[in-house]
Chains A and B, each alone.
Chain A
């Protein structure tokens, strides 16, 4: 097919020629304070648009340094039960990619600083149209993308166009990413690298601390980028431990479990579902921020 594995123009590769992004600023501030960042994940539209937007707006005050906003998909192959269910609830409530972008726009009206990263799978984006999506996402105030099923082998699909459009493309590195493969994985990555601490789906068990520490330092050295650690960080204790070596800690399933529990306990009244999620986020944020 003659598709060459191109790199970005050198202007985009050099951090000095670009203005500081919200993500860069965030990590610089964290570094100055010598603390790790807290990155909560919630599913956009779960359990419905309004509740989800309310959650999103409350997260920065609860201690979120960056927010990962899930884009629902019918077939989330890398997610465990908790996030699968969250996606299905969002879909049942009529969530679409367009509504998720609208949610980011609404969030930006009151918050210009907290970086927002969309996390999901490629098909909804591909279906939306890559160019239109990048344009709309940038316009809405999205800062970065994590697209689980786009490895570096498929960089021309979205990663390179996203970088050209001024959006960070955050790559996942995993325990199966060995030294030989790591350079390819981080080559076109920007913003930060997301280290998946365990081979498995979201919400599983985390990796052993020593091997996570080793991986974080290896990836930091190789990429020169901050490294966030996620998949399976469920408790404040685990979050604190992870925050000792990671630049940021991602927590998703543990927050969504709170939401699911609140829905189960009180299916008719959605007014009270945000409180337990925000309370849990606050606990986790405190643990992460006070780890060092």
Chain B
């Protein structure tokens, strides 16, 4: 990484869109001119105070930012009653589940749709797993009066019906994808196929910090509002930085959004939590860093779940939003650089944490951050009671109640 400052973890990607060996632009020639255009436009927009101002306006008045930083007193007590005396960190939640549309996804969608408008694009496409990114995209499309086509795996359409209906109410066309396994990766394939076919008028709003350069960079930048706010709020609340920050990771957009502003604060321990499904040792999980190896998919080199022949394997997680066989390239790099530690939580552990959060805090979390919470409860118990753990509550769980009811054997 000779062109990147070795004293900083925050200078990537390089001009080729690489974070170390990860990232890059592995796309068909048809798309190259489009992503080069996007890169150029993004550079110009990032240096334009009017663009920043417009972003800030919508983030404040439409999304409802800043999202609160909340001291989760009862969760903290819950941990302390089980920990040894003097142990059990203070747990804070960054409440991005309170955003308009119920998750962090909207932060990125506002940024990308403003870019699309700047580029004169008139048709928006997106992929979605859990449906949160699809809902967020459909929302900004309605707000700006642009047609919206959302690709969603057939399996996900089944398990995320409320979000499918939301998208339709918002005027989006939801196209169920039956190719492959009918999940997020297949939805992304079909969105790319759409883009390659409709190059002139279409803008592809990618929902996670992955894909060809410049997507991992721009999604990270749009999501970094989470970490920037959290840092300032933590100073206000505690007068110092947290000791540990944690977030769940599918593609990794909420995590990189929280982590990036803290990467050079060397005293802050950073932990990402992947979905272990039925267990890392089973063949049903979505933990690409813990159990995958580097490969090339969807425009970037990153860690992937794949077989010996380089064929992509199916991911599994109870949470549709984590059910992806890859991970954003910056996470792959941070993993190898050792700056962020990546662990995992199983479906069952996430379900248990989900219920704890409901009962202790009156907050129904999405199943995605429930994975992070599962590990956070363990981690907090290993920390002294004068230490601080900050968790990104990146989405709310209204969309998941049917899945959870099913898993718990309740009829609703």
A interface, CB within 8 angstroms of B: 1-3, 72-81, 84, 91, 96-98, 121-128, 148-151, 153-154, 171-178, 181, 185, 196, 199-201, 204
Contacts and interface: CB of A to CB of B under 8 A. Distances in A.
A201 B197 CA distance: 7
Contact of A123 (B2, B186, B189, B312): B312
Interface-centre pick from B4, B31, B185 (highest chain A CB count, 10 A): B31
Contacts of A77: 28, 189, 192-193, 196, 298
Given A1-B1, A77-B192, A177-B33, A153 B310 contact: no
A199 B197 contact: yes
A72 B193 CA distance: 17
Nearest to A125: B310
A96 B309 contact: yes
Given A3-B16, A148-B28, A151-B29, A74 B311 contact: yes
Nearest to A200: B197
Interface string B14-45: 10101010001111111111100000000000
B206 interface: no
Given A74-B312, A127-B306, A151-B32, 17 more contacts: A77-B298, A78-B28, A79-B193, A80-B193, A84-B179, A97-B309, A123-B295, A123-B310, A126-B301, A172-B28, A176-B29, A176-B32, A176-B33, A181-B32, A181-B33, A199-B198, A201-B197
A5 B323 CA distance: 36
Given A1-B1, A127-B306, A153 B25 contact: yes
Nearest to B30: A174
A82 B29 CA distance: 21
A289 B4 CA distance: 55
A127 B308 contact: yes
B118 to A, nearest CB: 20
A1 B14 contact: yes
B193 A78 contact: yes
Contact of B311 (A2, A73, A153): A73
Given A123-B306, A124-B310, A199-B199, A176 B30 contact: yes
B185 A75 contact: yes
Determine the interface band of chain B, counting residues with CB < 8 A from chain A. 35 or more
B86 interface: no
B242 to A, nearest CB: 32
A1 B16 contact: yes
- Top-6 shortest CB links A-B: A127-B310, A124-B310, A200-B197, A2-B2, A174-B30, A96-B309
23 contacts: A1-B16, A74-B312, A75-B297, A76-B189, A77-B298, A96-B309, A121-B296, A124-B309, A127-B306, A127-B309, A127-B310, A128-B309, A128-B310, A149-B299, A151-B25, A153-B16, A153-B24, A153-B32, A173-B29, A174-B30, A178-B33, A199-B196, A199-B199
B145 interface: no
Interface string B151-184: 0000000000000000000000000000110000
Given A2-B2, A77-B28, A153-B25, A176 B199 contact: yes
Given A3-B16, A201-B196, A122 B296 contact: yes
B281 interface: no
Given A173-B29, A176-B34, A154 B24 contact: yes
B376 to A, nearest CB: 33
B3 interface: yes
Nearest to B198: A199
Contact of A171 (B24, B29, B312): B29
A54 B310 CA distance: 26
Contacts of A2: 2-3
B30 A74 contact: no
Contact of A172 (B2, B3, B29): B29
A250 to B, nearest CB: 15
A91 B66 CA distance: 49
Contacts of B304: 123
Given A127-B295, A200-B196, A174 B29 contact: yes
Nearest to B24: A154
Nearest to A174: B30
A2 B311 CA distance: 31
Nearest to B295: A123
Contacts of A122: 26, 296
Contacts of B196: 77-78, 199-201
A17 B293 CA distance: 40
Nearest to B21: A1
Nearest to A127: B310
Contacts of B308: 96, 127
- Residue with the highest number of chain A CB atoms closer than 10 Å, among B16, B192, B196, B304: B196
Highest count of chain B CB atoms <10 Å: which of A76, A91, A153, A204? A153
A96 B306 CA distance: 13
A85 B299 CA distance: 22
A185 to B, nearest CB: 7
Contacts of B1: 1
Contacts of A172: 28-30
Given A3-B16, A201-B193, A123 B296 contact: yes
Nearest to A97: B309
B14 A150 contact: no
Contacts of A3: 16, 18
A288 B24 CA distance: 39
A98 B304 CA distance: 20
Nearest to A72: B311
Contact of A126 (B25, B186, B295): B295
A106 to B, nearest CB: 19
B375 to A, nearest CB: 30
A75 B311 CA distance: 8
Of B29, B31, B179, B199, most buried by chain A (CB within 10 Å of CB) is B29
Contacts of A123: 295-297, 304, 306, 310, 312
Contacts of B193: 77-80, 201
Interface centre among B18, B24, B30, B312 (most CB of A within 10 A): B30
B176 to A, nearest CB: 14
Contacts of B185: 75
